[in-house]
Amino acid sequence: MHTAAPVPAAPTGGAEPDWADRTATLLEAVRGRAPLVHCITNTVVQNVTANVLLALGASAAMVDVVTEAGPFARVADALLVNTGTPHAEPRAAAEEAVAAAVDVGTPWVLDPVAVGSLPVRTALARRLLAAGPTVLRGNASEVLAVLGASAGGHGVDSTVGADDARDAAVAAVTAPGGPGRRVAAVAVSGPVDLVVAPGTGTVRVANGTELLTRITGGGCALGAVVAAFTAVSPGDAGAAAVAATAVHTIAAELAARTSGGPGTFQPLFLDRLASLTPEDVVREARITVEPSAVVA
Amino acid sequence: MHTAAPVPAAPTGGAEPDWADRTATLLEAVRGRAPLVHCITNTVVQNVTANVLLALGASAAMVDVVTEAGPFARVADALLVNTGTPHAEPRAAAEEAVAAAVDVGTPWVLDPVAVGSLPVRTALARRLLAAGPTVLRGNASEVLAVLGASAGGHGVDSTVGADDARDAAVAAVTAPGGPGRRVAAVAVSGPVDLVVAPGTGTVRVANGTELLTRITGGGCALGAVVAAFTAVSPGDAGAAAVAATAVHTIAAELAARTSGGPGTFQPLFLDRLASLTPEDVVREARITVEPSAVVA
Amino acid sequence: MHTAAPVPAAPTGGAEPDWADRTATLLEAVRGRAPLVHCITNTVVQNVTANVLLALGASAAMVDVVTEAGPFARVADALLVNTGTPHAEPRAAAEEAVAAAVDVGTPWVLDPVAVGSLPVRTALARRLLAAGPTVLRGNASEVLAVLGASAGGHGVDSTVGADDARDAAVAAVTAPGGPGRRVAAVAVSGPVDLVVAPGTGTVRVANGTELLTRITGGGCALGAVVAAFTAVSPGDAGAAAVAATAVHTIAAELAARTSGGPGTFQPLFLDRLASLTPEDVVREARITVEPSAVVA
């Protein structure tokens, strides 16, 4: 029987400026490397997901057919699996891709969209979770549902706050089992976003705008952004999740200041993602850390 | 043998101000309730359909896989079934969802996209029509084709005016059979939109812009808007169809005034949907009613 | 055994003004006829592809299910087959549509997205290529891969310049076999776009903007635009490819001048496609021709 793995101590000096600087550094790393992100995601948001990755400076490829997904996950820099519109063929492709990613060490993100009462995606998400995603990302009800801590909501919108999933997230990242088989970090979306990871502690990102919830794909695209950051943050899933969340929500917040509603927000958001500077990140980031959070 | 059911008299005082007021009231009801609209729609317009619903103040969920679609249609506030890109799995999901909606009384909209000469979707649409949608919505050639009154066009664009489908629509809403098994209202798109329903008469909405035909999904998204309005107008499908059509086309008309073409029209349309006030509706609505229309 | 078919001499006087004028004339022909373009394309770009066709003045229909695709290809004015997201049902639909198009002479475009190391789409693209597309369009690595001249890249972005595919393109359009069974023209995207066809020579279009590579579908939508132009340029695939490329990239270049990034670029690009005048084309076109190129 396994016993709980020891949890590395969270950094004690992780004050706001440090995380903002790390985020800015990782953003530049994404742009420098232009990681190729393999996306298996729902048909509703494929377009916006690809555009967000391209605006960020990454590359995107939606390879979701059987016999292509596995080989592609071996050469991609990161993989995103999102459980929306889980038709039979992309479901099989997702399992093939995850097995390949785990085999060769491609970092991968699981986004359990609308998991809870919907049976097909819930079963799929739990099977994939068992393979140990680098980052599990969703809203609180999705994260609770996939972790078995709640039946989840009945739709794609969370009815609980990000912090409601904190205990379950802490339990997930400190669960027994080898590190390759458990989730390395959990990122929870909400008015204040939450990231939990051993070594990172509990990090909260207070940037963002309500407009991200008035467009489809605001959260799903963040899953792809997290994947892009995992490609430049090997071995530190928590940092990838924090930086991705901050970049995504800061760009959104800046776009919201000049948009006239959810329609004009979308192109302005992509423009801001493309033009976001390290200085913007450092100036705008509202990141707080709770060092003792991940003590199981 | 059934005989023709008696047709309720159309309101005789249905002058323009009344319909504008009812539309404004129903718009506020949609925003107050934020109905969850279950959409099974074609992959071309899933994104814009979700964004239109979110901008309107409703919620959207695209649940189009078998074993998820039925249970979801039971808890959703309304259902949209659009027959575009009718692959095998969403076809089966559509039949499952409609059966569930009929079983529990979830209002639902049938949008028979490009029905006519295309065999798969035509057969599907006719089977679904037999289940008695709350609202049948399409352009005139699609409505004529699904009702068996014409072979339909060869594409997605109507070559006839909305009024060309009026007689067939009147026949459909006054057909013999129990009210749960016949279409309760028919909405036909065109330069002037048409709504036919017992109790409503023939209502024409003259708002809109030619730009709605220069983007993909202008009509398909209206199907989802109609579904959202059926959730706040129980038992009065005609009112839901009129109000949805007016809100959709007024927002479009206002957006067209400041857009530079079909590209900038789209974000401005979403902004207008989100910001449309009851006063905008009352001021801009061009709705006329022909009380005697629905005498079979 | 076949021997190499004689290659028609390329026009010797094909100077820049001539191609700009021809492009302007063909643009007006597209708008006058509004060709119905049957698209079987990947789910990531279906929406933007339809919107580009509508903005251009053409019509679009995404008919990608079996038993509908074949009959529809017989009545459509042109067909586009793009190999992205090649699920089983659209794959079969693509083969059915191409067989019908070849049978009745509907012009058709093959866009071999991400062909190379991905096995499903590579096998599909090569089978379709053998049916003799009117135009083969892709980036250089895709064109080289489908023509068997290279293993291709591992993603959707080309790592080679358009001219790297020139020799393979010349060989393809001058290959032995009847004209109905070989590709009539090859269009290769890159910083400078390349078109190769017998009778056209090698034509280079130097318009465009880097922003077309920062959005998803910039190239895929061009495939649809090429298809629209083949409908108004019967028997001259090279002219269709040149004119489509020029219109697409000129509209993009003009949009880029006023956009703030990849987000605002997209709606402005659609606006520019819709408003582009023949005078814009003549003024902006940077088209050069190398008459002797197609000497096998």
Higher pLDDT, C296 or A44: A44
Cβ–Cβ < 8 Å for B194, B224 = no
Q: What is the pLDDT of residue C14?
A: 42
User: Rounded to an integer, what distance in angstroms lies between the CA atom of residue A56 and that of residue B198?
Assistant: 53
Of B120, B215, B264, the CB nearest to C68: B120
Q: In what order do the strands lie in the sheet containing B287-290?
A: B59-61, B36-40, B78-82, B108-111, B135-139, B185-189, B193-197, B201-205, B287-290
Q: Inform me whether the pLDDT recorded for C264 exceeds 90.
A: yes
Residue with the two structure tokens 């009117």: C134
Task: List all chains that touch chain C, counting a touch as 3 or more CB pairs closer than 8 Å.
Answer: A, B
CB < 8 Å to C67, chain B: 119-120
Q: What is the pLDDT of residue C182?
A: 84
**Residue range B242-266: mean pLDDT, rounded:** 98
Residue type for A217, please? G
Q: Rounded mean pLDDT of B79-107?
A: 98
CB contact under 8 A, C262 and A47: no
CA triplet B9, B131, B52: central angle to 5 degrees? Answer: 85
Q: With bands split at pLDDT 50, 70 and 90, how would you rate the model's confidence at A151?
A: low
Query: Nearest 5°: CA angle at A284, between A281 and A290?
Result: 90
Question: And the tokens for C164?
Answer: 């790297």
pLDDT confidence of residue C6 = 37
pLDDT in tens, C111-146: 999 999 899 999 999 999 999 999 999 999 999 999
Q: Does B63 sit within 8 Å of A86, measured CB to CB?
A: no
Interchain contact A256–B (C-beta under 8 A)? no
Asked: is B16-289 a CATH 3.40.1190.20 domain? The reply is yes
Q: CB–CB of A260 and B268 under 8 A?
A: yes
Task: Give me the residues of C, 157-196, that contact A with CB < 8 A.
Answer: 157
pLDDT at B17: 53
3-state secondary structure (DSSP) of residue B135: strand
**Rounded average pLDDT over A247-268:** 98
Q: Say whether B68 and A155 touch across the interface (CB within 8 A).
A: no
Does B6 reach chain C within 8 Å, measured CB to CB? no
Q: What is the residue-averaged pLDDT of chain C?
A: 90
- Model pLDDT, residue A133: 97
Residue predicted with more confidence, C157 or C279: C279
8 Å CB contact of B47 and A48: yes
pLDDT digits (tens, 9 = 90+) for A100-129: 999 999 999 999 999 998 999 999 999 999
Whether B216 and C50 lie within 8 Å, measured CB to CB: yes
A270: contact with C, CB 8 A cutoff: yes
Cβ-based burial of C230 (10 A; exposed 0-12, middle 13-18, buried ≥19): buried
Pairwise CB contact (< 8 Å): B266 & C267 = yes
Q: Does B119 touch chain C (CB under 8 A)?
A: yes
DSSP code at position A100: H
* CB pairs < 8 Å spanning B and C: 96
Q: Cβ contacts (< 8 Å) between B36 and chain A: which residues?
A: 154-155
Q: Say how many CA atoms lie within 13 Å of A103 toward its Cβ.
A: 13
| Chains near A (3 or more Cβ pairs under 8 Å) | B, C
Test A63 with C118 for CB contact under 8 angstroms.
Answer: yes
Mean pLDDT rounded to a whole number for chain A: 90
**How far apart, in Å, are the Cα atoms of A67 and each of A73, A100, A130, C122?**
11, 11, 22, 12
Give the Cα separation of B220 and B81 in Å (integer).
Answer: 10
Is C29's pLDDT higher than 50? Answer: yes
User: Are A129 and A110 in contact, with CB atoms under 8 Å apart?
Assistant: yes
Candidates C37, C56, C59, C68, partner chain B, best to mutate (most B CBs within 10 A): C68
**Confidence at residue B153, expressed as pLDDT on a 0 to 100 scale:** 52
Q: Nearest C-alpha of chain B: how many angstroms from A47? A: 8
Closest to B47 (Cβ–Cβ): which among A44, A119, A157?
Answer: A44
- Kindly state the DSSP code that residue A175 receives in the 8-state scheme: -
Whether residue C15 is predicted with pLDDT greater than 50 in this model: the reply is no
Question: In chain C, what are the domain boundaries?
Answer: 16-294
Compare C228 and C158 and report the one with higher pLDDT.
C228
A182: confidence class by pLDDT, cuts 50, 70, 90: confident
Asked if the C-beta of B27 comes within 8 angstroms of chain C's C-beta atoms, the answer is no
Q: Which chains touch B (3 or more CB pairs under 8 A)?
A: A, C
Cβ of residue B264 closer than 8 Å to a chain C Cβ: yes
Which A residues 58-117 touch C at CB under 8 Å? Answer: 59-68, 71-72, 75, 87, 89
Whether the pTM exceeds 0.80: the reply is: yes
Query: Does B221 contact C at CB distance below 8 Å?
Result: no
**A237: its two tokens:** 């899933």
Nearest one of A39, A48, A85 to A215, comparing CA atoms: A48
Above 60 in pLDDT, residue B292? no
Task: Name the percent of chain A lying above pLDDT 70.
Answer: 87
Q: Is the pLDDT of residue A153 over 90?
A: no
Set of chain A residues whose Cβ sits within 8 Å of the Cβ of C92: none
Using a CB-CB distance cutoff of 8 angstroms, which residues of chain A are in contact with residue C155? Answer: 36, 59, 61
Within 8 A of C260 by CB-CB distance, chain A residues are 268, 271, 275
**List of chain B residues whose C-beta atoms are within 8 Å of the C-beta of residue C269:** 263
C216–chain B Cβ distance below 8 A for any pair: no
Q: Using an 8 Å CB-CB cutoff, list chain A residues near B59.
A: 155-157
pLDDT band at C271 (very low <50, low <70, confident <90, very high): very high
- Residue C107 pairs in a beta bridge with none
Query: With 60 as the cut, is the pLDDT of residue A49 above it?
Result: yes
Between these two residues, C90 and C178, which has the higher pLDDT value? C90
pLDDT at C175 (0 to 100): 81
Q: Options 3.40.50.970, 3.40.1190.20, 3.30.70.1060, 3.40.1360.10; which CATH number does C16-294 get?
A: 3.40.1190.20
Report CB contact under 8 Å: B67, A120.
Answer: yes
Instruction: Quickly list H helices, chain B.
Output: 16-33, 46-56, 69-75, 88-104, 119-129, 140-146, 166-173, 218-230, 237-258, 262-275, 278-284
Interface test with C, best of A45, A47, A89 (most C CBs within 10 A): A47
Task: Indicate whether this complex's ipTM tops 0.85.
Answer: yes
Q: What is the H or E stretch that residue C30 is in? A: helix C16-33
In tens, the pLDDT along B183-232 reads 999 999 999 999 999 988 999 999 999 999 999 999 999 999 999 999 99
Q: Which amino acid, B163? A: D
C150-206 pLDDT, tens digit each: 755 544 455 678 999 999 999 999 987 655 568 999 999 999 999 999 988 999 999
Q: What is the DSSP string of B13-53?
A: T--HHHHHHHHHHHHHHHHHH--EEEEE--TTTHHHHHHHH
Contacts of A89 in chain C (CB under 8 A): 87-88
Give yes or no for residue A195 having a pLDDT over 50. Answer: yes
Return the pLDDT at B181: 65
Cα of C183 to nearest chain B Cα, Å: 28
pLDDT in tens, C39-76: 999 999 999 999 999 999 999 999 999 999 999 999 99
